Chain A
Amino acid sequence: MSIGEATSEQTPDSTRMRWRRSGGAALVVRGLHRAVYPLLGVAVLLALWWYGGHLIASDPATESFAGFGPGPTFASLADLIRSGQLWGIAYPSLHRIGLGLLWATVLGVPIGVSIGYFRVAQETTHIPFQFLRMISPLAWMPIAVLAFASWDGAIVFLIIVAAIWPIIFSTAHGVKRIDPLWFRVARNLGAGGGQMLRRIILPAIGQDVFAGIRLAVGVAWIVLVPAEYLGVTSGLGYAINDARDTLAYNDLAAIVVVIGVLGYALDRICLFLIQHFSWRVEL
């Protein structure tokens, strides 16, 4: 019995992939997509920025805002990094967003699993959750300020309010997508509820949970900066306000760059986790 050799058993993908990878032309095309086009995009953005800065600097009416140009901005950014100030500014923000996302995940995943698994939970929560989801997190600000003794607490609360919805809905969607056959496989092995959760549900929804967290990071990062305009005396939002008040436009622009770069980095981390926890559906 040598069934391993049957020709019909070969995975068709492997040969096709090898074919596509070969050839110099293909390499060039892949190089273009990997590096050249993204760099081109960044270059265009920098060029527009530089031109805008140039216009501002050369007009006497707006001259005092010349700090917004890329030159002064990157000089200021280098200063911030060299003096170690940057970490002091970014750390409180990262701490708040980390704490908020952690809580949103800790609360959102179990809620999402329940909604995906139990129809009753889905039907009961649908209207209230859709209603609450539509309220801008910033609209909760006055309530948050009243309810929490510290500004930090209020900001973390706002991040949770912003971040929890995508996590809940993405998790629930992931659970609903689970093939019922996998539950039967697990039951055939004699698995109980706890093992079902650990062996089937959680691994099956990993990619959906992180996709939800990725969306949540996007929203939370946007909410964070305006939330830090109030009360607190640390963080990126505070630093922007502070730079504006001291007319340090180069610092202000440097912080904006930092916000963009950190947001991009957080997004990439989430993307990595999604890919790490994803599995391809069988054909």
Chain B
Amino acid sequence: MSGFLSLDRMGIVFETRNGPYRALQDVDLRIAQGEFVTVIGHSGCGKSTVLNIVAGLLRATEGGVLLENREVNSPGPERAVVFQNHSLLPWLTVYDNVRLAVDKVFRKTKSKIERDEWTRHNLRLVQMNNAADKRPSEISGGMKQRVGIARALAMEPKVLLMDEPFGALDALTRAHLQDALMTIHADLGNTVIMITHDVDEAVLLSDRIVMMTNGPAATVGKVLSVSLARPRKRLSLADDTEYNRCRADVMKFLYRQTETDDPRAA
């Protein structure tokens, strides 16, 4: 029994100038189709590395990734990545940035007209259809992130991989985008792995929260299921006991990691 997406005893060693560095060890995780999983952990523990291995941008040195029982060993559009920032090509318009991905993925299966319509449809999903002809330098950070999400969604990926997609945004924009993402996830049922530093964001969005231990040799420390009914409303969650229990759980885990990191606390 392997599940839709599984990470099997995955590990990676980087060759650095100071010799080999073991970043990850025995990362084990099963993710069901349509599940929304967030990964949380201290800076530098190896979250992006996990995501990059799933994306196929890095190769694990031990173990590996299976998607629908097939091994992942190269990058591909069925595992679309939403990068943290600056990932739009600045010489292309918003429309062309999304269209580039659409053309790449659907060149053989959709006609030109269908691809144009599909591009616009995905821009509408993130409310960016009105800025279609703008360049990345002419839109705000939040807008850029939305275009990045539209580009990833437009690839109709089996798995959506997001590396701190809202990390660089102000609180208000961030809240708007979280809501938009929840709506899209509810409508399309994507399988999502999202990295975040924000405990509230993790609890609000996830079906499960994967907490990682600190590196070197970081691994999955604890997995927490968030059994909050959807759709979730951020305002009513503030007094929800389950919400606060999850929040406290994650906080405790992160705090304990900090303590074990501190030599004086040993």
- Chain A residues proximal to chain B, CB less than 8 Å: 1-4, 6-11, 13, 179, 181-182, 184-185, 187-191, 195, 199-200, 203-204, 206, 277, 279-283
- Judged by a CB distance under 8 angstroms, whether B135 is at the interface is yes
- What are 11 of the A-B contact pairs (CB < 8 Å)? A3-B126, A3-B146, A4-B127, A6-B172, A8-B172, A9-B143, A10-B140, A181-B83, A185-B89, A188-B75, A280-B135
Chain A neighbourhood of B86, CB < 8 A:
179, 181, 282
Interface of A is mostly: helix
Chain B neighbourhood of A189, CB < 8 A:
77, 100-101, 104-105, 155
- Judged by a CB distance under 8 angstroms, whether B120 is at the interface is no
Indicate the member of A3, A10, A280 with the most B CB atoms within 10 Å: A3
Residue of B whose beta carbon sits closest to that of A191: B104
Chain A neighbourhood of B79, CB < 8 A:
188
A9 touches B140 (CB 8 A): yes
- Report Cα–Cα, A11/B131, bound state, in Å: 11
Could you tell me the distance in whole angstroms from the C-beta of B220 to the nearest C-beta in chain A? Answer: 24
- Which of A3, A9, A277, A279 contacts B137 (CB under 8 A)? A279
Chain A neighbourhood of B80, CB < 8 A:
188
A280 touches B137 (CB 8 A): yes
Could you tell me the distance in whole angstroms from the C-beta of A172 to the nearest C-beta in chain B? Answer: 19
- Judged by a CB distance under 8 angstroms, whether B176 is at the interface is yes
A190 touches B137 (CB 8 A): no
B91 touches A204 (CB 8 A): yes
- Which of A11, A190, A204 contacts B104 (CB under 8 A)? A190
Residue of A whose beta carbon sits closest to that of B128: A4
Indicate the member of A11, A179, A206 with the most B CB atoms within 10 Å: A11
Indicate the member of A1, A195, A204 with the most B CB atoms within 10 Å: A1
- Which of A8, A187, A277 contacts B140 (CB under 8 A)? A8
- Report Cα–Cα, A279/B96, bound state, in Å: 14
- In the complex with contacts A9-B142, A11-B139, A190-B77, A281-B87 CB distance below 8 A: no
The 5 closest A-B pairs by CB, nearest first: A3-B176, A280-B137, A279-B91, A279-B90, A4-B127
- Judged by a CB distance under 8 angstroms, whether B57 is at the interface is yes
Per-position contact with A for B86-124: 1 when CB-CB < 8 Å, else 0? 111111100000001100110000000000000000000
Could you tell me the distance in whole angstroms from the C-beta of B134 to the nearest C-beta in chain A? Answer: 9
Indicate the member of A4, A203, A280, A283 with the most B CB atoms within 10 Å: A4
- Report Cα–Cα, A179/B89, bound state, in Å: 10
- In the complex with contacts A190-B77, A200-B89, A279-B140 CB distance below 8 A: no
Chain A neighbourhood of B77, CB < 8 A:
188-190
Count contacts on B: residues with CB < 8 A to the other chain: 43
A282 touches B142 (CB 8 A): no
Chain B neighbourhood of A179, CB < 8 A:
86
- Report Cα–Cα, A213/B79, bound state, in Å: 41
A3 touches B90 (CB 8 A): no
- Report Cα–Cα, A8/B92, bound state, in Å: 24
- Which of A6, A11, A191, A203 contacts B91 (CB under 8 A)? A203
Chain B neighbourhood of A3, CB < 8 A:
126-127, 142, 146, 173, 176-177, 179-180
A281 touches B90 (CB 8 A): yes
- Judged by a CB distance under 8 angstroms, whether B76 is at the interface is yes
Per-position contact with A for B129-167: 1 when CB-CB < 8 Å, else 0? 010000111111011101000000001000000000000
Chain B neighbourhood of A8, CB < 8 A:
140, 142, 170, 172-173
A282 touches B88 (CB 8 A): yes
B83 touches A184 (CB 8 A): yes
A188 touches B81 (CB 8 A): yes
- Report Cα–Cα, A2/B180, bound state, in Å: 9
B138 touches A1 (CB 8 A): no
Per-position contact with A for B168-187: 1 when CB-CB < 8 Å, else 0? 00101100110110010000
Indicate the member of B55, B127, B144, B183 with the most A CB atoms within 10 Å: B127
Chain A neighbourhood of B88, CB < 8 A:
282
- Report Cα–Cα, A9/B55, bound state, in Å: 30
A4 touches B130 (CB 8 A): yes
Chain B neighbourhood of A181, CB < 8 A:
83, 86-87
List CB contacts (< 8 Å) of B215-247 with chain A: none
B137 touches A187 (CB 8 A): no
Indicate the member of B87, B88, B146 with the most A CB atoms within 10 Å: B87
Could you tell me the distance in whole angstroms from the C-beta of B263 to the nearest C-beta in chain A? Answer: 35
B176 touches A280 (CB 8 A): no
- Report Cα–Cα, A187/B130, bound state, in Å: 28
Chain A neighbourhood of B138, CB < 8 A:
11, 13
- Report Cα–Cα, A189/B76, bound state, in Å: 6
Could you tell me the distance in whole angstroms from the C-beta of B113 to the nearest C-beta in chain A? Answer: 21
Chain B neighbourhood of A1, CB < 8 A:
127, 176, 179-180, 183
Residue of A whose beta carbon sits closest to that of B170: A8
Residue of B whose beta carbon sits closest to that of A203: B91
B179 touches A190 (CB 8 A): no
